[in-house]
């Protein structure tokens, strides 16, 4: 069975599970997503208006719009990345491609957080979409220009044990479901001296695997808004488990983890 056939079969099974989860849901399913976005208030967020049996992020999306800019995806052409139109709840809407609602008057915005719809997801952060590649192209472009946090929003039932993916399929940084958060490690290499406080407060790109990340963009929401960095360190010199601020030896291996704040406080102590 070739990769495309495997994807088709995986989508068919996931659509059936999603339909069942959509029918069985009781009340709003966006409470956990609201809690996540509350940690990033003020950061530009792109969401989506659900189509068919997609889980509905609208309550969290509306809440986020009270604190910062939010946008909706707009398909301009097949084979092109998405662009995002500024959205205000209650504004006039029209049907766009695939009957997705978009603002009647377009003002473009660039998100730092993207709430991503999907058909299926797995425990490694893999995402199976609808096959058009729109979010893969979009996330690739956004990640090339700066930091972006890709949050898949889906039902628990949409999780698959393993997905048939290819190199162009962009991974997710986090999955939020109706009742939980799943975060995915991403290994990053950067100079150990990034822990110098003055360094954190000045623009400087991190060289990462496949992308550049600039921490300055997360300062507006506080250090906790950085996409869950810091797992372990490797430094030069005896007795060092991680570099202290101002230290300039060695390189640091960093992977995604929810322990950023605790480790940062320990480093500064």
pLDDT tens figures, 79-107: 999 999 999 999 999 999 988 999 999 99
- Do residues 179 and 195 share a domain? no
**Do 40 and 129 belong to one domain?**
yes
Asked if residue 173 and residue 40 are part of one domain, the reply reads yes
Q: Label residues 90-107 b or e (16+ Cβ within 10 Å = b).
A: eeeeeebeeebebbeeee
- Name the residue with tokens 């339909």: 19
Do 53 and 141 share a domain, yes or no? Answer: yes
- Distance between CA atoms of 217 and 207, rounded to whole angstroms? 16
* pLDDT tens digits, one per residue of 122-142: 999 999 999 999 999 999 999
Boundaries of domain holding 222: 188-268
Indicate if 17 and 125 belong to the same structural domain: yes
163 & 220 share domain:
no
What's the token pair of residue 182?
Answer: 């799943």
Q: What is the pLDDT of residues 216-267, one digit of tens each?
A: 323 323 333 333 333 333 333 333 333 333 333 333 333 333 334 444 444 4
Q: What is the pTM of this model?
A: 0.71
Single out the residue in 183, 205, 230 at which a domain terminates: 183
Tell me the CATH number at 149.
3.40.50.10420
Q: Please tell me the total count of domains within the chain.
A: 2
Last residue of a domain, one of 151, 183, 215: 183
Cα-Cα-Cα-Cα torsion 221, 223, 226, 232, nearest 10 degrees, comes to -170
| Domain identity same for 29 and 150 | yes
Tokens of 163: 């997905």
Distance between CA atoms of residues 74 and 257, nearest Å: 32
Same domain, 214 and 168: no
CA-CA distance, 128 to 152, in Å (whole number)? 10
């Amino acid at each position: 069975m070739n990769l495309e056939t495997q994807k088709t079969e995986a989508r068919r099974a996931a659509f059936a599970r999603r339909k069942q989860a959509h029918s069985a849901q009781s009340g709003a399913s966006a409470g956990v997503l609201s809690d996540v976005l509350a940690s990033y208030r003020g950061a530009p967020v792109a969401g989506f208006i659900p189509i068919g049996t997609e889980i509905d992020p609208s309550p969290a999306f509306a809440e986020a719009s009270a604190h910062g800019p939010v946008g909706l995806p707009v398909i301009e052409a097949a084979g092109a990345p998405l662009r995002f139109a500024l959205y205000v709840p209650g504004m006039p809407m029209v049907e766009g491609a695939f009957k997705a609602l978009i603002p009647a008057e377009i003002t473009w915005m660039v998100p730092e957080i993207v709430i991503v719809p999907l058909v299926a997801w797995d425990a490694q952060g893999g995402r199976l979409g609808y096959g058009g590649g729109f979010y893969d192209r979009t996330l690739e472009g956004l990640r090339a220009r700066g930091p972006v946090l890709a949050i898949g929003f889906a039902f628990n039932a949409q999780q698959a044990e393993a997905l048939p993916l290819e190199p162009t399929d962009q991974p997710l940084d986090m999955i939020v479901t109706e009742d939980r958060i799943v975060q995915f490690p991403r290994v990053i290499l950067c100079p150990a001296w990034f822990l110098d406080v003055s360094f954190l407060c000045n623009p400087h790109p991190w060289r990462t695997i496949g992308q550049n990340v600039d921490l300055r963009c997360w300062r507006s929401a506080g250090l906790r808004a950085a996409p869950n960095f810091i797992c372990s360190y490797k430094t030069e010199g005896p007795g060092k488990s991680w570099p202290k601020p101002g230290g300039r030896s060695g390189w640091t291996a960093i992977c995604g983890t929810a322990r950023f704040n605790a480790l940062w406080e320990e480093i500064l102590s």
